[in-house]
Amino acid sequence: MTAAPAWDDAIREHDRRVYVSVLALGLPPDRAREVTQMTWTRLIEQYAKGKLADLELPGLAIRQARFYALNEHQRARTEMRVLAAVPEPPAGDPERDLASRQELERVLAALETCSPQARRVFRLVYATPGGTAQTAAQAVGLSLQRVRQILCETRAHIRKELAR
């Protein structure tokens, strides 16, 4: 078992990521927030009971949150648009791996066509531990507003490239 994590720090660092992963399944914000909270509660309990041998964050929290989100959908049997409602095939599935690799390549190819400044902001926000628009603005010497604008432009560009 890994050393006891500082849960406050872990939640502060990964909560947004877990929340967004639930939003990506189509849950509305209020339900997504509940699911995220349930996820953290569950993890803390399970860890205290010694049932979590490998506490890999945020991966474990995201998987748990997705499980809750799908359960939520089945329980309510609503017309909610669960875009990823079909349970993901098990890891190691060649078809899924291929699709995942292709998707990754397309994102990277789109990223390569962005400006150097956009790539730098992207790296500072998405590829730097604890990276936010604020830290990126400080690092590149731009205003927060401009960094947010660059992020939106970059996302729009990648979205457009992925939609082709």
Partner 1 sequence: MTTREDIELYVMGQYDGDVAALERAIAEDPALAQILADEARLDEQLRNAAARATFCPACDDLVRATRCDACGAAVKPGGYTVERVLVSNAHGRMYVAHDADGRRVALKELAFVQAPGADALAKFEREAKFLRALEHPAIPRFLASFEEGRGVHTRYYLAQELVEGTALDRLDEHWYSEVEIRELARQVLGVLVYLQSLSPMVIHRDIKPANLVRRDDRSIALVDFGAAHVHGSTAGVTTVGTFGYMPIEQLAGLVDATTDIYALGMTLMHLMTRQEPWRLVQAKAEVNASPELRAFLAKLTANDPRERFPDAKAALAALDAPAAIGPVAAPSKKRRPALIAAAAGVAFAAAGGSIFALAHHAHHDAPPASPIGTVRVQFVGADTAKLRIDGHQVATVASNQEIPVAAGSHQFRLAGPGGGECEVTLDVQGGKTSTIECAFREAPFEMQMQPWTWKWDWPWNGPHHERRFGERLHTHKRVSWKLDHVKLHDFALLAANTCDFSVVVPDGVDVPVSVNIRDAQCDDAFTAILEAQGLGYSFDGSSQLVRIAPLKDLDDVTPWTNDLPGGKELDLDVKDAPLHDVLALIVKSGGAGVNLVVAQGIDGKVTIRLAAVPWNQALGAVLAAQGLWYRYYPESNLIRVAPAHDFDGR
**In the complex, which residues of this chain contact partner 1 (CB under 8 A)?**
16-17, 20-21, 23-26, 28-30, 81, 83-84, 100, 103-104, 107-108, 111-112, 116, 119-120, 122-123, 125-127, 132-133, 148, 151-152, 155, 158-159, 162
Residue 126 to residue 121: CA distance in whole angstroms: 8
Q: What is the dihedral of CA 73, 79, 84, 89, to 10 degrees?
A: 60
- Count of other CB atoms within 10 angstroms of residue 43: 22
Which residue type sits at 68? Answer: Y
Tell me the closest approach of the beta carbon of residue 13 to partner 1, in angstroms. 12
- Count of other CB atoms within 10 angstroms of residue 78: 10
Tell me the closest approach of the beta carbon of residue 72 to partner 1, in angstroms. 15
Tell me the closest approach of the beta carbon of residue 76 to partner 1, in angstroms. 15
- Residue number, 23 or 47, with CB nearest to partner 1: 23
